[in-house]
Amino acid sequence: MHVGVLKETAPRERRVALGPDAVARLIKAGDTVTVQRGAGAAAWFSDEAYAAAGATLGDARDAAAADVVCKVQRPADNELDGFRNGAVVVALAGRDASASPETLASRGIMLLALERVPRSTRAQAMDVLSSQATVAGYKAVLIGASSLARFLPMLTTAAGSLTPAKALILGAGVAGLQAIATARRLGAVVTGFDVRAAAAEAVLSLGAKFLAPGAIAQDAATTGGYARELEDEQQQRVLAAISGAIAQSDLVISTAAIPGKPAPRLITSTMVAQMKPGSVIVDVAAETGGNCELTQPGETVEHHGVTIIGPLNLPSTMPMHASQMFSRNVQTLVDLLRKDGKLTLDMSDDIIAAMCLGGPAR
């Protein structure tokens, strides 16, 4: 099977879909791999490292001519000229993918959308959303800590004692739990919150407090474990619980998301006005509209002395390890597509069937 790795062209994207280690594993399994020159440069993976792993280096058309073409972000429609009829593209579909399947189908290209990997034990090693959320949760705390006007840990010095900062983490999925763990390591007093009942145990297991157990909903999780939209009455209980805690918090990391929908609004402008001057909010959900109503995606704004940061594509800001995890997810998926050394799309496989967008590969 021929696998291609393309360089990313999207703004702010520094990751690469397959790193040299993953390429070496694919070649060991019998695949041939063509990597576009410079594909890994932004993630600090050199062309020489790919060559040492056994890959062939080429231009974009060389890599796009493969049976399976791997990218982080879905190729734009004007980048499809080098793809062959019957190719499979493995990439994130992106939020603008609604019009793309028709274009792909007209060219006989199948897109396996990485966002659509099922939440199952068998698919866990292919789950890029979880691996990249780990990076986002970690980096969000570092951004918040560097923007605060105070230390996170308690310090006792000759100049006096400094009390630890209070951090509130909204959302206890993968990103939220990583944020809790990171804030704890840095010495903050951490409180976590999630509407899903099962999340309370995970928050407590990391040594954090869990905010307002009475506000959680027993049926707030979907079959895949993601949070669902709440009814108005439940949403009001959640906002009331958050409002009481946010005024006492120095750092707020908001990570709440609902797959396929805008991020839930958990932080109102009134809540922000109640926070102490010098406090910081890092809204990890900025790309899907933000959990804070004052968030400006990609911007840092200030309201009543509170800094509100809306970062975009946080995993790409740590491209080396983000790419390392991403590429292991992709490599595991590519292994699933190989049968007797050839590309095989088994539509009876629940993982492949869930991920397919566009026209069937031929």
Catalytic residues: 119, 124, 127, 130, 226
Q: Comparing C-alpha atoms, which of 298, 181, 334, 310 is closest to residue 326?
A: 334
Contact 280, 250 (CB under 8 A): yes
What is the rounded CA–CA span in Å between residue 347 and residue 326?
24
Q: What token pair was written down for 174?
A: 């993968």
56 Cβ contact list (under 8 Å, min separation 6): 32, 33, 34, 35, 62
Helix, strand, coil share (%) of the chain residues, nearest 5: 40, 20, 40
Please report where in the chains the tokens 């406090």 appear, as a residue: 279
Distance, in Å, from the CA atom of 359 to the CA atom of 88, rounded to the nearest integer, reads: 10
- How wide is the angle at C-alpha 103 spanned by C-alphas 102 and 107, nearest 5°? 110
Residue 228 contacts by C-beta under 8 Å, 6 or more apart in sequence?
Answer: 220, 221, 222, 258
- Output the CA angle 6-10-16, nearest 5 degrees: 40
